[in-house]
Amino acid sequence: MGAHHEQFAADAEAARWSLARALAAAGALGDPAWRAAFEDVPRHLFVPYFYTSGSRGYERLWGEDPHPVRRGRWLRGVYADAPLATRIRDGELISSSSQPSLMARMLDELDVRDGHTVLEIGAGTGYNAALLAHRLGDRAVTTVDLDPEITESAARHLAAAGYRPAVITGDGARGCPARAPYDRIIATCTLPSVPHAWLAQCRPDGRILAPFATGLISLGVRETAHGRYAEGRFLHTPAYFVHLRGALPPPGRRRPLGGLPRDVFDDDLFHFLLTLTEGSLDPHEALSLWRRERRPRRERYGITVGPEGQWAWLDDPEGPYAWPLAEGVDRDPR
């Protein structure tokens, strides 16, 4: 039994370091501190099982499987650069462990510094909170999730790996005012709009990074004479996350798309624009803009959030192309 555990520990360490090397080679780990985090934090402790989908539905792979071949598939899957489905309820994915390369790029974009505090919305398995705690220390990190089953398992995983950030069960749209203010807020779930409570809990000159539509928006927070604002552009990378629990139905999936040319149906950038302009442009108006602007990439778009509302825009927040965003996630901030 001892030899078995020693071999597993060696295999897991080798897989972990191999993943970190691959992420660094792909340019996703430019900061040595984040590379050290990916090398040191054992992802397998946060994903004791996951689901794969096939012709027969979902198959569960887990680390305690008595069959060595299936157990090996589990370990290889844990340290592959791929998202992992970790919770399925009534056939619907409700929680996952994100693709490591995307996590690495998001953490790098967060631009944390020693002494910063971070609020994470969406605890998931706890792996991302562990990476943050490795970089900043336990007391600097707060992670929030609406589902008590998710927070309880995340806290167990974190403790098993030797990390103890604050794990809070609560409505992520409200943030966590008891531990505010924060220098950075990062969400690991897709938003239909940016909660104003996050602006109130983020320090001026802070940053909010969140999945939005099918992209990632990076917002700088500033204080003005008229109130607090957040504004920024999308990153170039696509991003697909589980939606914020309790929010409005995901945008971009409710409009009939009949009559559009066949060649745009599978175009990722066109569907990004459709999702971003839900409720403001009909599909044919979106197509006309998309063609007129020669298939604009994600980084040409941005979002502004302020006391008077929030809107998305192309190229310039004061320019001709701007669309109001439906504020579907705000709750009473008290």
| SS3 labels along 304-331 | EEECCEEEEEECCCCCCCEEECCCCCCC
In the chain, domain spans = 2-188, 262-324
Segment 54-66, tens digit of pLDDT:
767 788 999 999 9
CATH number (3.30.530.20, 3.40.50.150, 1.20.1560.10, 2.40.50.140) of 2-188 reads: 3.40.50.150
Q: In sequence order, which residues have a C-beta less than 8 Å from that of residue 152 and are 6 or more positions away?
A: none
Half-sphere exposure of 77 (CA within 13 A, CB side): 24
Give 161's strand partners: none
How many whole angstroms separate alpha carbon 203 and alpha carbon 75? 40
Sheet holding 57-62, edge to edge: 57-62, 49-54, 84-89, 92-97
Cα torsion 35, 41, 47, 48 to 10°: value is 150
Torsion of CA 20, 133, 104, 88, to 10 degrees: 100
Contact present, 172 and 122 (Cβ < 8 Å): yes
Going by the DSSP 8-state scheme, the letter that residue 63 receives in this structure is T
Report the catalytic residues. Answer: 95
- Residue 245, Cβ density class (10 Å: 0-12 exposed, 13-18 middle, ≥19 buried): middle
**Tokens linked to 237:** 């990378």
The β-bridge partners of 232 are 303
Backbone φ and ψ of 194, nearest 5°: -95, 120
Tokens of 130: 């562990």
Angle at the Cα of 272 from the Cα atoms of 266 and 278, rounded to 5 degrees: 115
Tally Cβ neighbours within 10 Å of residue 287. Answer: 19
Per the CB < 8 A criterion, the answer to whether 311 and 321 are in contact is: no
pLDDT in tens, the chain (334 residues): 567 778 888 999 999 999 999 999 999 998 999 999 999 999 999 999 999 987 677 889 999 999 999 999 999 999 999 999 998 887 777 778 999 999 999 999 999 999 999 999 999 999 999 999 999 999 999 999 999 999 999 999 999 999 999 999 999 999 999 999 999 999 999 998 999 999 999 999 999 999 999 999 999 999 999 999 999 999 999 998 888 765 544 444 445 566 788 878 789 999 999 999 988 898 999 999 999 999 999 999 999 999 999 999 999 999 999 999 876 555 444 3
Distance from C-alpha of 22 to C-alpha of 19, rounded to nearest angstrom: 5
H/E run at residue 51: strand 49-54
**Helix ranges, 51-99 (H):** 68-78
Residues 12-26 pLDDT 10s: 999 999 999 999 999
